[in-house]
Amino acid sequence: MSKQYSAPSVRQLAAAVDSMAGQVSEGRLRQLRMVVGMFDRAVGRDEMPGRASRTAQQLFTWASLRPFWELAAEGQLRHLQKDVGKPLPEWTLRIVRDCLKILAREVLPVGKTVRLPSVANPEPKATVDGRSLDALYRGMVDLAGQGPLERDGTALPYEDRTRLLAIVAVMLDAAPRSGELAAQSLSDLAAGEAAVAVRRQQQKAPPNRVEEIAALAEVGTEAARSVLGGWVERVSEETRQRVLAAVAELQPLPEVEWYPLREGSQVAMRRWLKVRQQLVESLPLEGAKTALWVSLVPSKAGPPGVPLRAQGLRQAYARGITALNWVMAGQYGWEPLPTTMEQIRRSVDVVPMLEPPL
Q: What integer pLDDT is reported at residue 27 of this predicted model?
A: 80
Q: Highest mean pLDDT range out of 9-18, 119-128, 339-348?
A: 9-18
pLDDT tier, 288 (very low <50, low <70, confident <90, very high otherwise): low
> What is the percent of the chain where pLDDT is above 70?
80
Pick among 3.30.70.20, 1.10.3470.10, 1.20.1510.10, 1.10.443.10: CATH of 130-199+256-345: 1.10.443.10
Q: What's residue 121's pLDDT?
A: 56
Choose between 71 and 347: higher pLDDT: 71
For 295-321, write each residue's pLDDT tens digit: 888 877 678 888 888 888 988 888 888
**232 pLDDT more than 70:** no
* Per-residue confidence band for 226, with pLDDT thresholds at 50, 70 and 90: confident
- The residue-averaged pLDDT of 256-265 equals 91
Q: Mean pLDDT, to the nearest integer, of 67-84?
A: 89
Position 57 pLDDT exceeds 90: yes
* Side-chain-facing half-sphere of 94: CA atoms under 13 Å: 7
Q: Is the pLDDT of residue 60 over 90?
A: yes
pLDDT at residue 192 above 70? Answer: yes
Selected residue with higher pLDDT from 327 and 166: 166
User: Across the chain, what does the average pLDDT equal?
Assistant: 81
pLDDT greater at residue 333 or residue 41: 41
Residue 203: the pLDDT is 43
Region 264-291: mean pLDDT is 82
Domain-by-domain residue ranges, the chain? 8-107, 130-199+256-345, 204-249
Q: Which residue has the higher pLDDT, 327 or 154?
A: 327
Say yes or no to pLDDT of 282 above 60.
Answer: yes
Handedness of CA 69, 75, 80, 81 (dihedral sign): negative
Express each pLDDT in 22-36 by its tens digit: 888 888 888 899 999
Residue 157: pLDDT above 90? Answer: no
